[in-house]
Structure 1
Amino acid sequence: MATFLAFIGVSIVVIVTPGPDTAITIRNTLLGGRTAGVFTAAGIAAGQTIWAIATSAGVVALLVASEPLFLAVKYAGAAYLVFLGLQALRAALRPAPAGAPGPGAARETRPARRLAPAAAFAQGVVSDLGNPKMAVFFASLLPQFVPGGVATFAALMALGAVFAAMTFCWLALYAAVIARAGDFLRRAAIRRAIEGITGTVLVALGLRLAAEQR
């Protein structure tokens, strides 16, 4: 029990630390509302579950040991984060359409385009699977907290599933809070500012991921 509680504690610290998952969840919630945010969280959790399965089956160990494969995943994931970030920056810098209401007119309460739940889910999955740091994290963390020190498939998978479930709950809560403040956050000026911030963060995270050593 003490080992499991230690795992929960370490997982909470990792999960609540802002990163690409948080930035993507915020962005997608603004684009598609709470539903898109929750589906993004579900996609991220699904990606983590895949990493957990791969870790339990020993596939992640092969990925970490293979420099070319590891780099391929890293650069693909970094490129995807930069792509999403540039999309957000483009939306932030896009000029208002002709005839758009001025500052004194009724505020904009809906995003210019809605993000479909399926697209949000896919973005969550791809973003998480494109982060090789998750592979290293799962490969190094899970075995340390296996009860009795026996790293069986079932034991590793159970810990991975718990981590993914905790991640989903945290990010879904994030989405609910952002959606709750949706009317304020979707004002034209506020939304564009947040798009600019999240876009910058995603680009920076992508570049950092590409430049980081193991």
Structure 2
Amino acid sequence: MDLVALLPAFALAVVLISASPGPVMALILRRAAVHGFRGAVPTVLGLEAGLYLWALFAATGLAALVAASEIAYLVLRVVGAVFLVYLGFKAWRAAWRSREHGNAPVEDLPAAPAKGWMKAFGEGVVVMLANPKAAAFMIAFYPQFVPAGRPLFATTAVLALIQVSIEIGLYLGLAAAVGRAGRWFRRSEIRRRLDAVSGTVLVALGVRMAVDSK
């Protein structure tokens, strides 16, 4: 079957996968709620850069080596779990610190040091690259949409670019919707609850990643 004929099924699969809950969704929602749409942009781009790299790794066979290697898979799993737990503890710490401010809007509180664009971008890249499930997913997902006779690397690179484009549009749309309610989210009481819940979710996802086997 020709690649063009497979694109609608590929796009639908990407949309369904993108909507599934997990570390990516938790990170984007918290970032957009706390820092607004502009604050979520580098996180989304970092996540998608990591995804694109995994797709290229899958095309070159590196992802298969990672998935097949017990040591490499374990190292990535531990690194990813530790990083998610770290992000969760940061959210809990923010929730605890906000207790002293009552219900005042965050805009009226003493400003905290702003996270740099590259730091937020880097967090997204690390969350994606340190997820060994992403390697296993790429190995299983992309070959289904590479027609026989097509060059594997070039076709995978094109498909990954399409996936990244779709996901950036979806995630930025989600971030924009959440960001519209930014002032409400950034009230101290609401933000404290949001930080507590998102921290719990991130820690739970980290623990699940740590204990999950292949």
> Normalising by structure 2, what TM-score?
0.90
Verify the 8 A CA contact 2:80 2:206 in the aligned structure 1.
Answer: yes
4+ aligned runs moved over 4 Å, structure 1:
none
Verify the 8 A CA contact 2:34 2:185 in the aligned structure 1.
Answer: no
Aligned CA distance change for structure 1 residues 12 and 95 (closer, same or farther; 3 Å)? closer
- In structure 2, the partner of 1:8 is 11
Displacement after TM superposition at 1:117 (Å): 1.7
Q: Which runs of 5+ in 1 are unaligned?
A: none
Mean Cα deviation higher: 150-159 or 78-87? 150-159
- In structure 2, the partner of 1:85 is 88
Question: What do the CA deviations read for 1:54-110 (whole angstroms, capped 9, x no partner)?
Answer: 11111111111111101100110011001000110111122544xx4x55xx53346
Displacement after TM superposition at 1:2 (Å): 3.6
1:11 is matched by which residue type in structure 2? V
Verify the 8 A CA contact 1:108 1:188 in the aligned structure 2.
Answer: yes
Structure 1 residue 20 corresponds to structure 2 residue 18: no
1:59 is matched by which residue type in structure 2? L
Displacement after TM superposition at 1:188 (Å): 0.5
Aligned residues: 209
5 Å matches for 1:118-157?
118-148=118-148, 150=150, 152-157=152-157
Structure 1 residue 200 corresponds to structure 2 residue 203: no
- In structure 1, the partner of 2:32 is 29
Question: What do the CA deviations read for 1:127-158 (whole angstroms, capped 9, x no partner)?
Answer: 11011111111111000111236461101111
Structure 1 residue 76 corresponds to structure 2 residue 79: yes
Verify the 8 A CA contact 1:88 1:199 in the aligned structure 2.
Answer: yes
For 1:179 and 1:78, how far apart are their aligned partners in 2?
A: 28
Structure 1 residue 47 corresponds to structure 2 residue 50: yes
CA-atom RMSD in angstroms: 1.8
For 2:193 and 2:149, how far apart are their aligned partners in 1?
A: 49
Mean Cα deviation higher: 123-132 or 147-156? 147-156
Q: Which runs of 5+ in 2 are unaligned?
A: none
2:188 is matched by which residue type in structure 1? A
